[in-house]
Amino acid sequence: MYGRKPRPSAFDGRSSQQAAPALRRYEVACLNARGDIETSSHIAPAIPLFEAAVSAFARGTLISTPTGEVAIEDLLPGDEILTGRGNASPVQWIGSTTFRPDRPSSQSSITHMTRVMADAFGISRPSSYMMAGPAARILHTPDHLRASAGAQKMLTPLRGFVDGENVIDVTPPAPIELFHLCLKHHAIIFAGGLEVESYHPGTGASTEVSHNLRQIYLSMFDHIHHLADFGPMIYPHAPGARYHDASAI
C-alpha cells in the first residue's frame, strides 16, 4: 500500500522462554498522504494500548455529523463529524475489532461491554440506549477529583459510572464489533448525544509497552510516526477507577 510503514512482528526480540502474547485482529481504514482511503488488517497483541484504539463504540452507535447522526460503522475516513467546539472535522482514521465473549484472555482489556440507558446522564444524554466498549470516555469530572481539578474538565471512562441501573455491565451473547476513530486533532465528539472523545492514547502511552511493541502499535497509524504526533489532548484523562452513579450527575 502507498506509504505503508513496515510492520514489525509481535515476536521480534522475544526469547524462547517468554510466553507469546494473546493476539487480536485489528481492522484499519485511514486517509493516506494523497487523501485516498486505505484499508489494512493487523494481527497484534491483545493488550490495553492496542485495544483502546478500537474499542470505544459498539456497532450501531450514532455519531453526530453536519447532516445528522450516522452509525459508526458507516463512517469513512474523510467524512466530517461534529466536534464540541461547534465545527466539523474530517475523520482521519477508523479502527475496529471484534469482541468474542466466548474467547476470554487474561491480557485483554475487553472483558465486557457497558450499556447506557436513555437519559442516563441527562435529557437525551444519550438519546436512546447505547452500547460502549472499555475505551469510551465521557467529558465529566468525577466528584472526588473536582477539588483538585478545579475548573479543569476531565475525560472519564464510561464504565466507571456503572451503577446497575442507568449504566450497566453486560456480556453480549454473541460477538460484537467495536470501533474508535481519530481526527486530525484530539477532540470532543458526540455519540448518541453524549460528549465523548476521539481517540488519543494519552500522555503515558510511551511507558506502557516496550520499544518493539510501540513500533507495532504505530504501524497501525499511517498518519502517525511518533506518539507525539497525536498532538496535545483537549482534556486530560481521569484515572480509570469506578466513580459515582450516573444519576448523580
Q: Give the residue extent of every domain in the chain.
A: 23-248
Is the CB of residue 44 less than 8 Å from the CB of residue 95?
A: no
Higher pLDDT, 248 or 131: 131
CA distance 126 to 60: 13
pLDDT over 70 at 43, yes or no:
yes
Higher pLDDT, 1 or 58: 58
Any idea what the Cα angle at residue 62 is, between residues 101 and 112, rounded to 5°?
A: 20
Query: What is the pLDDT confidence band of residue 241, given thresholds at 50, 70 and 90?
Result: very low
CATH topology for 23-248 is Endonuclease - Pi-scei; Chain A, domain 1 (2.170.16)
Picking from 112, 130, 26, the residue whose alpha carbon sits closest to that of residue 72 is: 130
pLDDT over 90 at 233, yes or no:
yes
For 74, list phi and psi in degrees, rounded to 5: -95, -5
The DSSP annotation for 161-221 comes to: G--SSSEEEE--SS-EEEEEEEESS--EEEETTEEEE-----TTGGGTS-HHHHHHHHTT-
pLDDT for residue 198: 99
Peptide bond into 21 cis (omega under 30): no
Chain-centre distance of CA 71, in angstroms? 15
Contacts of 169 (CB under 8 A, 6+ apart): 112, 113, 114, 115, 159, 162
